[in-house]
Structure 1
Amino acid sequence: MENWDDIRVFLAVARAESLSGAAPGLRMDPATLGRRVARLEERLGAALFVKSPQGYALTPRGERLAEHAGRAEAALARAAEAGTPERGLSGQIRIGAPDGCANFVLPQVCAAIQAENPDLELQILALPRVVNLSKREADMAVTVSPPEAGRLTVQKITDYRLSLAQRADAPVPTRLSDLGTRPLVGYIPDMIFDRELDYLGSLGAQGVPLASNSVSVQLQMLRHAGIGIVHDFALPFAPELRRVLTDELRLTRAFWLVRHAADRRSARLTRFAALLAAALRAEVARLEAECLTGTSAGRDG
């Protein structure tokens, strides 16, 4: 029977796909990790990784070990929870999210939850791509599309809305066809990582003169020039902008909460997921209501 500490090292390297990536979380140097992995492979009599300059990739034997070890890790976590009185939440939880949610909704939601659970450490992983839960990049993730594969559990959090917006002092377009005369702000087309983020078809546009893979950067671009599709919940953070052509174009998307299937039996993560989903739902509704309130102040065109 293998030492659990060796299995913990193996899992960290497997998830990071490199010694240097796993080292900080384990508080070990890469050379030590390399020796630990080599000793484990020697004891098992099998290669667990294919080593290359690009990193450490699991062999078929390594994949099987990672699957069983991940289940054991989850079982150990549940056992530890079972022996702990149910009080406030504690420990570290990492949430992956697209940067719109990560920048404009999650910070205040996480701050409120952590204030009620001072022993809880919350981390927000903001990425311009889908978070890889199978590699344990995060404990759970907010996504804009429900995943279609993987051993995951999915629940819908809430719908959210998006509108065309521009600087309040810019000429107001009267129809969508007027957009051809204005620089359009949006995603870099070949870096759109989810079909729900592809808005060009809704605009009838062929290109994006001002583009970024980040929602936050797009919002900063709009503060200077152009017109583009913006989350309604982000507009309270940009008072210089106003919505336009709301009768002609309004998009609805959804946030989904995605978790590892094995974590369904974790009371701690289940409690946190329920708190997170409810708080996200409430905060999106609050910010969108604040955006709508701006109508009387001339926010909409």
Structure 2
Amino acid sequence: MSDFDWNDLRAFLAVGRAGRLTVAAQRMGIDHSTLSRRLSALESALGTRLFERRPSGFVLTSDGERLLGDAERIENVAITLRSRLDEASHQVSGTVRVGTPEAFGTTFLAPRLAQLSASQPTLEIELVANPRSFSLSKREADLAVTLTRPETGRHFARKLVDYALGLYAARSYAEAAEAIRTVDDLHRHRWVGYVEDLLWTSELNYLPQVSSAIHPQARISNVITQMEAVRGGAGLGILPHFLARGHPDLIAVLPQEVRIVRAYWLIAHADTRDLPRVRLVSEFLTRQAEAAGDAFWLAAP
């Protein structure tokens, strides 16, 4: 163990989380040959193989699985020490990666990042606004905004905000199509919905809640692209009010009859939630959601 190097352990963690050498090297900002040498050096220092090299990627051996938990604990100690030094010098610096659904990240959070940057010039934010779930234990994100509260894992979760969704159509579509007076009229119209087998959470499966007779003619994997299809006249669609309200060419259809409520949850890992930079961004998100008030609900006519 005389040749043990912390950077080699960081390399091991990166490959263990990514499963592929090139992806891990990109995340670490080094070339893959350097990363490969660090893995080999660690295996040599420990006297054991940590990965099986397969065509599909790097798979942890039993010794690698055992080392992964220990390596994550060492990493958490290093992160905590760095944060204490920053706090002692009255600085909040470093990088916080925030994973969010695409509508929340793109429409709500991204326009507000300037406020955070102005108040914390040494803090870096990585915003990953994708229709997917994020693994905090694998360090895919430091904070995650999700549609469900996690039931397992060492997580801290709190409700960020409730929000409502409604039925929308392009004004041009509504003027040209058959009138919609009740929910029973909806099945006679074209619809835009999700690709069912690409739903990353059951919370997005809205249409059965409206009517079992609805069958979308256009299926799209993310809500922002769905909105653009609805705006283009492809059909009716269920959209978050905070996403649709900025587009005057969209009109709410049957707003009293079709009303769906969901919640955004803010999730942090138990090991890192109290780090100053993570805590600061968490508090910023909470304040912004609270200050938004009725923005997450249907605008008054």
- Provide the C-alpha distance between the structure 2 equivalents of 1:188 and 1:208, rounded to a whole number of angstroms: 9
| Residue in structure 1 matched with residue 219 of structure 2 by the alignment | 211
| Residue in structure 2 matched with residue 36 of structure 1 by the alignment | 38
| Residue in structure 2 matched with residue 184 of structure 1 by the alignment | 191
Q: Over residues 12-70 of structure 1, what are the superposed CA-to-partner deviations in whole Å (9 max), with x where a residue is unaligned? A: 11122111001123232112212221221122122211221211122232222221211
Structure 2 counterparts to residues 183-202 of structure 1, below 5 A: 183-202=190-209
Matching residue within 222, 231, 239 for 1:223: 231
| Residue in structure 1 matched with residue 266 of structure 2 by the alignment | 257
| Residue in structure 2 matched with residue 233 of structure 1 by the alignment | 242
Corresponding residue SS for 1:125? strand
Corresponding residue SS for 2:97? strand
Any conservation in 1 of the 2:187–2:214 contact (CA below 8 Å)? no
| Residue in structure 2 matched with residue 279 of structure 1 by the alignment | 288
- Provide the C-alpha distance between the structure 1 equivalents of 2:289 and 2:274, rounded to a whole number of angstroms: 22
Any conservation in 2 of the 1:102–1:126 contact (CA below 8 Å)? yes
| Residue in structure 1 matched with residue 119 of structure 2 by the alignment | 116
Corresponding residue SS for 1:135? coil
- Provide the C-alpha distance between the structure 1 equivalents of 2:27 and 2:296, rounded to a whole number of angstroms: 38
- Provide the C-alpha distance between the structure 2 equivalents of 1:59 and 1:259, rounded to a whole number of angstroms: 29
Aligned AA (2:63): R
What CA RMSD, in Å, does the superposition of the two structures yield over aligned residues? 1.8
Aligned AA (1:150): G
Q: Over residues 157-204 of structure 1, what are the superposed CA-to-partner deviations in whole Å (9 max), with x where a residue is unaligned? A: 010010001112314511111111211111111111111110121121
- Provide the C-alpha distance between the structure 2 equivalents of 1:25 and 1:239, rounded to a whole number of angstroms: 41
Any conservation in 2 of the 1:188–1:208 contact (CA below 8 Å)? no
Corresponding residue SS for 2:265? strand
Q: Over residues 118-171 of structure 1, what are the superposed CA-to-partner deviations in whole Å (9 max), with x where a residue is unaligned? A: 111111112222112222111111000111122211111010010001112314
Gaps of 5+ in 2: none
Alignment pair present for 1:64 and 2:36: no
- Provide the C-alpha distance between the structure 1 equivalents of 2:91 and 2:45, rounded to a whole number of angstroms: 42
Corresponding residue SS for 1:190? helix
* Deviating more after overlay: 37-46 vs 12-21: 37-46
TM-score w.r.t. structure 2 length?
A: 0.91
Aligned AA (2:193): G
- Provide the C-alpha distance between the structure 1 equivalents of 2:289 and 2:125, rounded to a whole number of angstroms: 15
Q: Over residues 58-106 of structure 1, what are the superposed CA-to-partner deviations in whole Å (9 max), with x where a residue is unaligned? A: 2232222221211221211211222223645321111111111122111
Q: How many residues align?
A: 292
Any conservation in 1 of the 2:166–2:241 contact (CA below 8 Å)? yes
| Residue in structure 2 matched with residue 299 of structure 1 by the alignment | none
- Provide the C-alpha distance between the structure 1 equivalents of 2:118 and 2:151, rounded to a whole number of angstroms: 35
Gaps of 5+ in 1: 296-301
Q: Over residues 237-283 of structure 1, what are the superposed CA-to-partner deviations in whole Å (9 max), with x where a residue is unaligned? A: 32210111111110110000111111134233122212222213333
TM-score w.r.t. structure 1 length?
A: 0.91
| Residue in structure 2 matched with residue 298 of structure 1 by the alignment | none
Return structure 1 stretches of 4+ with deviation > 6 angstroms: none
Any conservation in 2 of the 1:163–1:230 contact (CA below 8 Å)? yes
Aligned AA (2:16): A
| Residue in structure 2 matched with residue 138 of structure 1 by the alignment | 141
- Provide the C-alpha distance between the structure 1 equivalents of 2:285 and 2:182, rounded to a whole number of angstroms: 39
Matching residue within 249, 257, 282 for 1:248: 257
